[in-house]
Amino acid sequence: MTFTLAHLSDPHLPPLPKPRLADLASKRLLGYLNWTRNRHNIHRRDILDALVADLQAQRPDHIAVTGDLVNIALAEEFPPARQWLDSVGPPDRVSLVPGNHDAYVAATAPLIAETFADYIRGDDGAAGFPYLRRRDAVAIIGVSTAVPTAPFMATGWLGDAQRARLETLLQRLDSERAFRVLLIHHPLRSRSRHKRLTDSAELIALLQRHPVDLVLHGHDHVHATIRIDTPRGPIPVVGVPSASAFNDHHRPSAAYNLFAISEANDGWRCEHRIRGFGDTETITDLQDARLL
pLDDT bucket at 100, cuts 50 / 70 / 90: very high
Closest to 258 in 3D by CA, of 78, 121, 93, 59: 59
Average pLDDT value for residue range 70-85: 97
The CA distance from 197 to 222, in Å, is 16
As a whole number of angstroms, the distance between CA 283 and CA 254 comes to 9
CB 140 within 8 A of CB 64: yes
Q: What average pLDDT does this structure show over 176-183?
A: 96
With a cut of 90, say whether residue 146 has pLDDT above it.
yes
Quick check: 113 and 129 in contact, CB under 8 A? no
pLDDT at 184 exceeding the cut of 90? yes
> Sorting pLDDT into bands at 50, 70 and 90, what band is 1?
confident
Q: What is the mean pLDDT of residues 181-187?
A: 98
Omega of the bond prior to 130 within 30 degrees of 0, cis? Answer: yes
Q: What integer pLDDT is reported at residue 265 of this predicted model? A: 83
φ, ψ at 74 (rounded to 5°): -70, 145
This prediction has a pTM of 0.97
pLDDT the model gives residue 115? 97
Residue type, 61: D
Q: What are phi and psi of 40, to 5 degrees?
A: -65, -20
Domain range 3-290, CATH class: alpha beta
Closest CA to 85 of 25, 24, 191, 8: 8
Q: At residue 197, does pLDDT exceed 90?
A: yes
**What percent of the chain has pLDDT above 90?**
91
Please give, one letter per residue, the 3-state secondary structure of the chain. Answer: CCEEEEEECCCCCCCCCCCCHHHHCCCHHHHHHHHHHCHHHCECHHHHHHHHHHHHHCCCCEEEECCCCCCCCCHHHHHHHHHHHHHHCCCCCEEECCCCCCCCCHHHCHHHHHHCHHHCCCCCCCCCCCEEEEECCEEEEECCCCCCCCCCCCCECCCHHHHHHHHHHHHHHCCCCCEEEEECCCCCCCCCHHHCECCHHHHHHHHHHCCCCEEECCCCCCCEEEEECCCCCCEEEEECCCCCECCCCCCCCCEEEEEEEEEECCEEEEEEEEEEECCCCCEEEEEEEECC
β-pairing verdict for 94-96 and 62-65: parallel
Give the per-residue pLDDT at 158.
98
What's the mean pLDDT when you consider all of the chain?
96
| Mean pLDDT of the region 139-162 | 97
* Residue 47 pLDDT exceeds 90: yes
Q: Which of 289, 282, 274 is nearest to 6 (CA)?
A: 274
pLDDT per residue as tens digits for the range 211-244: 999 999 999 999 999 999 999 999 999 999 999 9
**Mean pLDDT calculated for residue range 99-107:** 94
What is each CA distance from 75 to 19, 65, 108, 169, 259, in whole angstroms?
10, 20, 7, 33, 34
What pLDDT score does 239 carry?
98
pLDDT score recorded for residue 35: 95
Asked whether the beta carbons of 235 and 207 are under 8 A apart, the reply is yes
Q: Which one is predicted more confidently, 292 or 60?
A: 60
Question: Is the confidence at residue 245, as pLDDT, over 90?
Answer: yes
Above 90 in pLDDT, residue 191?
no
Average pLDDT over residues 186-200: 95
Q: What is the mean pLDDT of residues 263-271?
A: 91
The mean per-residue pLDDT over the stretch 43-58 comes to 98
pLDDT recorded at residue 268: 95
Task: Please determine, for residue 108, whether its predicted confidence score (pLDDT) is greater than 90.
Answer: no
What is the mean predicted confidence (pLDDT) over 189-214? 96
